[in-house]
Amino acid sequence: MEKHQIHFGNKFIDFFVERKDVKNVNLNIKPDMTVHVSANEKVPLNFIYDFVRSKGQWIIKNVKQFEEVLPLKQNEREYVSGESFKYLGKQYRLRVEQSANEAVKYFRGFIYLLVQNPTDFSKKEKMMDDWYKEKAYKIFNESLDKMLALIKKYGVERPSLEIRMMKARWGSAQIDNKTILINTELIKAPKYCIDYVILHELVHFKYNNHSDSFYNLLFTLMPDWEKRKKILDQEIVREL
């Protein structure tokens, strides 16, 4: 993977080029706000430069939204009543209440954070993180069971599932370890986006690349996968 740069208007756009066995030139903005382009070895670099330049306005707009929204929400969390949190594609308002029975619950548009000391930031942060992880483990495993039922007939067996925070990707297939790694943050996306990521990684156990065969199978199993991916990469990430 090589890093390149183009001049667009009064700005510079940095991007990475990865040569893959793909039919089309594809451009994505990753959750860490880096721009990635995948293209076949036969595609000239000049063509890729022109392609990125044609997407310049869209790239700058979306990277700016990521820069303005994502760091702000991450850095200004206070875990106080009124803050907005995302779960399975929906926004919930936080309600912090003092209680001897500490717990996190959600109901009718609200996430209730019941804690003994409502001013204890570290405690509240840990409770919310643990709640997200607990939900992620349950929902991701349910999705894995559902997506495995689609691909099972192609000889793919159930891999282990691990969740962790990842900066630049939603998921990763560890073929040798027979394990799928899923980004904990994915629990904030709708279930249909979670299903797409899980299925994408499962297909890698059949085709460990991004060849035409890989995408043909993905399309066969999930004809609207591109729509789900677009929602995930262009809309959901801005709300994380």
Strand, coil or helix: 137: helix
Task: Say how far apart CA 225 and CA 197 lie, in whole Å.
Answer: 9
Task: Say how far apart CA 186 and CA 124 lie, in whole Å.
Answer: 21
| pLDDT confidence of residue 22 | 85
Q: How many CA atoms lie within 13 A of 113 on its CB side?
A: 28
| pLDDT confidence of residue 67 | 57
CB atoms within 10 A of CB 144: 22
> Who's near 152: CB < 8 A, 6+ residues apart?
none
Q: Give the pairing type, strands 110-115 and 35-39.
A: unpaired
Q: How does 89-120 read in b/e, with b if 16+ C-beta sit within 10 Å?
A: beebebbbeeeeeeebebeeeebbbbbeebee
pLDDT by residue for the chain (240 residues), tens only, comes to 788 999 888 888 999 999 988 888 999 887 667 899 999 999 999 999 999 999 999 888 877 766 544 444 444 688 999 998 999 988 899 999 999 999 999 988 899 999 999 999 999 999 999 999 999 999 999 999 999 999 999 999 999 999 988 776 889 999 999 999 999 999 999 999 999 999 999 999 999 988 899 999 999 999 999 999 988 876 555 444
| pLDDT confidence of residue 152 | 94
> Who's near 240: CB < 8 A, 6+ residues apart?
31, 70, 73, 86, 185, 188
Q: Which two tokens stand for residue 54?
A: 């044609």
Q: Which two tokens stand for residue 89?
A: 């594609």
| pLDDT confidence of residue 2 | 86
Task: Say how far apart CA 120 and CA 132 lie, in whole Å.
Answer: 19
Compute the CA torsion angle 174, 178, 181, 182 (nearest 10 deg).
130
* Domains present along the chain, CATH in parentheses: 2-75 (no CATH), 84-239 (3.30.2010.10)
